[in-house]
Amino acid sequence: MINTNVPPAEGAKVVRNFAQERERAMKSQATKLGDLCVDRQTGKLGDDVIKLAQAVMLCTLPYSSTDSTKIERRARLGEGDYLYVTFTAGIRGEQLPFGADRKLLAWILDRAIQSNSPYIPWRSAYEFQKEIGQKKSGKNNRDLMQRFRRISGLVINIQRRNSGTKADMLYKVIESSYLPESITGKPDQNVLPALEDGFGIRLDPSLFSDIKDHNLTLPRKLWMYDCGPMRVHDMVLWLCWRCHAAMSESVIPWDSLADQFDQDANPRRMKQHARKAITIIRTLWPSAVIQEIEAGILVDKASQPLLADDTSRNRVRRA
């Protein structure tokens, strides 16, 4: 019998079997989704939640590296209200955050919201890496350094328009920081005010005030779930929130999705991503009312909420 498990000789070219890799990835996703379903049924899904800033949740950063230093997104909030978000790279020579940078930004904002403070202690790179399931490694540290540099230069303009009125706010996300070399790659000279001890970062106070009042609560395990393409992941989170907060039937037009989400070169893939997101939501949450129609995506109030209301955690069904 031929032993097919013999490792390749040193220096030999390794031929990857992409079909097998995709199959393993799909099985892993299915297993994790099954675990989420069990946690939803037992109520454990709501034990650990993440609070995401509304502006960043509804209006997404780019999914890939871009030469653009400014992008604008728009989301309809309901009853004629609109949210306009402009992301700008505020440090010369630094790109806009993109791709998995959004996880670091979400982690930072969640920490501030949960602790009710714009100051976030952060003593090592591994604090973030451990939470998102990464191992300690030089590569992961280097990736984190690059992600933090892009986020440290991010400037966000948020406009909320309602019946002719407009609230317009401009924030630099990180006001100041004092961090170890494992995060910055070099000694940080942008020192925090002396009233805080140790390593950490401080958010812009006005931004902190805004995200405290405008945030969305989702299960942390769902945020961690690997849905495949990042566009699908963002749609799953956003559509879960729309279904959870729905009080009546509404239709999300396809054009509105294009305004919110950074699209790839093939516009038809937006619908493909939405269909996959809908399938995941229906599997996780069978009572969710969500379906694709010609005009867009129809959502309505579910007979059972995704998360039970908990006023002690400032978590209610209607956002």
Q: What is the pLDDT of residues 165-179, one digit of tens each?
A: 667 888 999 999 888
Q: What sign does the CA torsion over 260, 265, 271, 275 have?
A: negative
pLDDT at 30: 85
Report how far residue 258's alpha carbon sits from residue 160's, in angstroms, rounded to the nearest whole number. Answer: 19
Parallel, antiparallel or unpaired: strands 174-178 and 165-172: unpaired
The pTM assigned to this predicted structure is 0.85
Please tell me whether residue 14 adopts helix, strand or coil conformation.
coil
- Decide if 308 contacts 317 (C-beta within 8 A): no
pLDDT at 195: 38
HSE (side-chain half, CA atoms, 13 Å) at 230 = 16
Q: What is the CA radius of gyration of the chain?
A: 21
pLDDT at 168: 80
pLDDT at 311: 67
Q: For the chain, give the mean pLDDT.
A: 86
Give the model confidence (pLDDT) of 263-318 as tens digits.
777 878 899 999 999 999 999 999 999 999 999 999 999 888 888 766 666 555 55
Give the model confidence (pLDDT) of 103-151 as tens digits.
999 999 999 999 999 999 999 999 999 998 898 898 999 999 999 999 9
Give the model confidence (pLDDT) of 7-58 as tens digits.
556 666 667 776 776 677 677 788 899 999 999 989 899 889 999 999 999 9
Q: Which residues sit opposite 310 in a β-bridge? A: 315
Parallel, antiparallel or unpaired: strands 296-300 and 70-78: unpaired
| 45: nearest Cα among 53, 57, 33 | 33
How many C-beta neighbours within 10 Å does residue 255 have? 9
pLDDT at 262: 86
pLDDT at 319: 40
Q: Which of 43-47, 139-143, 184-188, 257-261 has the lowest mean pLDDT?
A: 184-188
Helix ranges (H only) for the chain are 18-42, 54-58, 101-115, 125-131, 138-152, 181-184, 205-213, 220-224, 230-245, 254-260, 269-284
Query: Cβ contacts of residue 62 below 8 Å, gap of 6+?
Result: 68, 71, 96, 97, 98, 99, 262
